[in-house]
Structures are given as C-alpha cells and as structure tokens.
Amino acid sequence: MRAVVTGVPGVGKTTVMNIVAERSGYRIVNFGDLMLEIARERGLVSHRDEIRRLPMEVQRALQMEAGERIGKMADVLVDTHMTIKTPFGYLPGLPEWVLKAISPGLLIIIEASPEEILARRVRDSTRMREAEELRSIEEHQMVNRMAAFAYAALTGAFVLMVENREGRPEEAAERILEVLGYGGD
C-alpha cells in the first residue's frame, strides 16, 4: 500500500514520519526531495523552499516527474502536501495524473493549531518558510481537508486526520503506526 502523509509547512510531517519509519517496515519517500533533486540538476533552485516560487509550468513539470518516480515504488509513505501555497494560488499536490500514478490507499493529514505551527516555523532556522498570518494558516488547513476529500472521492482512499500536539510528535506517530498495523510496539 502507498500512503500519503501531508500537512501545512512546519506542522511536523517530516519529524513524525521519521519516528514512523524507525518503528515500522515502511519506507519514506519525500516528494519534495525528488522535486529538489530534479530542479537542482537543472540549475533551477538551490533550496527546497524555492520550489514553490518557481513558474507555474515548471512546478507542474517537476511535480509530474516526481509523481511518476513514486508511482514505481511499492509500499511507501509519501511525505508531501495536499496543496501547496504558491504566489499563483494553491497548487494541488495530487492532481489527477499524480493521484493515478501514486494510487494511495490512505491519505493522512497532520494538523496542529495555527499558533503552534507559526511558532514551529519561527523556531526552525533550517528552512525558509513563510511567516504567515494565523488566519492564513487556518485557511490552508481547511483547503487541505477539502483537497483530501476530493482525492478520496477519486480513489476510495481512507482519510486519517492526526493532531501533532506540542512536544508530542511520538503520539502522532503512534496513531499512524496503529493504522498501518504496527500498533502497541
């Protein structure tokens, strides 16, 4: 089974996923890593947070290539986004052709309060995430839920919403492990 794990920037997806990977047989593939690798080879960006500011068509082309690569991988958890907030509006992370290639059985949304998310972005100096207004983060989380159910309607995938509580990423990881059949470990 391929599962997609998403959440707004800075919510803690990669942190939670690393714990899931340590405690399960699931391999993690980061969609952004693949896009970054391709974009770097072409001299388009030097940092992952520049990808969402590339021209629309370039983002779509990179997205398609990364999606096709992931579609060839069996039994992976895909660390990605339901939607990406770009200067041109929201880009769907799983447009129909990517959704078909990946064909996920489970769609996971990791959430936290907008206040916690903003604080996590500010604390994390390794990244160049937008310091958004709280209501803008709230809107993005709402848009992600809507996108998830559109993708679910097209695939029949289950949708799991998980809270990544402050200081407790293990709890979020445990909920995901439980659903993946690694509960109680």
Contact footprint for ligand ATP (CB under 6 A): 7, 9-15, 120, 123-124, 127, 129, 164-169
Considering the complex, state which of residue 9 and residue 104 has its C-beta at the smaller distance from ligand ATP.
Answer: 9
How does DSSP assign 1-65, residue by residue? Answer: --EEEE-STTSSHHHHHHHHHHTSSPEEEEHHHHHHHHHHHTTS-SSGGGGGGS-HHHHHHHHHH
Among 17, 20, 35, 70, binds ligand AMP (CB under 6 A): 35
Using rule CB under 6 A, residue 176 touches ligand AMP = no
Among 1, 2, 11, 14, binds Mg ion (CB under 5 A): 14
Considering the complex, state which of residue 60 and residue 165 has its C-beta at the smaller distance from ligand ATP.
Answer: 165
- How far CA 135 is from CA of 113, 123, 139, 149, 164, in Å, comes to 11, 19, 6, 22, 19
Using rule CB under 6 A, residue 114 touches ligand AMP = no
Q: How many residues interact with ligand AMP (rule CB under 6 A)?
A: 13
Q: How many residues interact with Mg ion (rule CB under 5 A)?
A: 2
- Could you tell me which of 127, 125, 132 has the C-alpha nearest to residue 49? 127
Cα–Cα distance for residue pair 169/174, rounded to 1 Å: 9
Using rule CB under 6 A, residue 81 touches ligand AMP = yes
Cα–Cα distance for residue pair 61/173, rounded to 1 Å: 32
- Binding part of the chain for ligand AMP, among 77-85, 118-126, 160-168, 174-182 by CB under 6 A, reads 77-85
Residue whose C-beta lies closest to ligand ATP:
12
Residue type, 8: V
CB of 37 to ligand AMP, least distance (A): 11
Bridging pattern class, strands 76-79 and 27-30: parallel
Using rule CB under 6 A, residue 9 touches ligand AMP = yes
CB atoms within 10 A of CB 1: 14
Instruction: Give the binding site for Mg ion (CB under 5 A).
Output: 13-14
Q: Which parts of this chain interact with ligand AMP (CB under 6 A)?
A: 9, 31-32, 35, 48, 51-52, 63, 80-81, 84, 91, 93
